[in-house]
Amino acid sequence: MRILLTGLSTFWGGRLAQALEARDDVEVIVGVDTRDRRVPLERTEFVRCDSTFSILTRIVAATQVDTVLHTHLVVDSTRAGGRALHEINVIGTMNLLAAAGAPGSPVRKVVLKSSALVYGSNKEDPYVFKEDVTRSRGARTNVERSLLEVEAFLRDFADDNPHIAVTLLRFANVLGDDIDTPLSHALRLPVVPEIFGFDPRLQFVHEDDVVGALTYATAHDVPGVFNVAGDGALPWSEICALVGKRRVALPPVLTNWAAEPLRLARVLDLPVEVLALLRYGRGIDNTRFKQAGYEYEHTTAGTVDAFARGLRLAKTIGDKHPSYRYEHEVEDFFRHSPAVVRSQD
């Protein structure tokens, strides 16, 4: 496999590149991103480009990649908002798909990492979403709108390119030792916010299962749309209890205003879509991806438990990962020196 990986400097891009480097059937990994990467990598080639991937057609043609792995989508609106979000998600995906579907393109597989955010969180919702159920109300936030737009592009792309296997994975909220999301951030605080009178059931997926699922979709032919989430759903109160935290209530009306001081004080940024989740919760049906052959490592309860264990360890020893500094010489040595013994040789 020759793989093009977008968003190499994002959390998921880095993780995935590391996981793919370990596989013998992966010949080449070309990572593109706008910034320097943040994890040590041995044989992944890095190309810096602008956030909208406008030079991608040339990279695809030059490297003859057969698989495109798109992990660059922003699903956490605290990371990029407004214009930047639109550029990365919508325009970026548009250019990426244009490059992958260009005449003579060697690409035969596209895997895209989306989010269960596309289902929203409303009181009219079913308790568990299947892949073919559409959301009950229109999207209100930029991030949800952009993801819906991206999925629509992908749908058209799949229709126009029947020879390319297109896999769309929608992930539930992620928890793990390393990933930082609004919810994991909330669970790391001394007291965890909830919305007064609401105790929604939430579903989580472990960060290792995210990497596992993306690797699985890359290595196997599983075209289609799949939900990815651990089995089961837990009430927020129970999640907090498992993590060993007390809760503090936000008012059930004008919740977004009440969350504003927390944002301003930089304590916690709970965007609108996360507040909706803390009100109504969301469940997604993971059976289709299981039927496609993927075996989950963690259930939702297992994910929360693993997160709680990590939290307890971190309380004692602090951050276990030393921060990585990108150094050209070292990276180049690993990638190009004949002295480095590579597993696939």
Residue whose CB is less far from other proteins, 11 or 129: 129
CB of residue 159 to other proteins, shortest distance in Å: 6
Evaluate whether 20 touches 32 at the Cβ level (below 8 Å): no
Give the E-state strand segments of the chain in sequence order.
2-6, 28-33, 45-48, 67-70, 109-115, 165-171, 173-175, 191-195, 201-202, 204-206, 224-228, 234-235, 246-250
Residue whose CB is less far from other proteins, 81 or 224: 224
Residue whose CB is less far from other proteins, 103 or 197: 197
Sort strands 45-48 and 191-195 into parallel, antiparallel or unpaired.
unpaired
d(CA 187, CA 193): 9
Residue whose CB is less far from other proteins, 45 or 131: 131
CB of residue 121 to other proteins, shortest distance in Å: 11
The helix (H) or strand (E) run that includes residue 215 is: helix 207-219
Residue whose CB is less far from other proteins, 123 or 315: 123
318, amino acid identity = G
CB of residue 216 to other proteins, shortest distance in Å: 11
d(CA 223, CA 219): 12
CB of residue 201 to other proteins, shortest distance in Å: 6
Residue whose CB is less far from other proteins, 162 or 318: 162
CB of residue 187 to other proteins, shortest distance in Å: 15
CB of residue 168 to other proteins, shortest distance in Å: 6
Binding site for other proteins (CB under 8 A): 123-128, 130-134, 154-155, 158-159, 162, 165-166, 168, 195-199, 201, 221-225, 231-235, 237-238, 241-242, 252, 280, 283, 285, 287-288, 290-293, 299, 301-302, 304-305
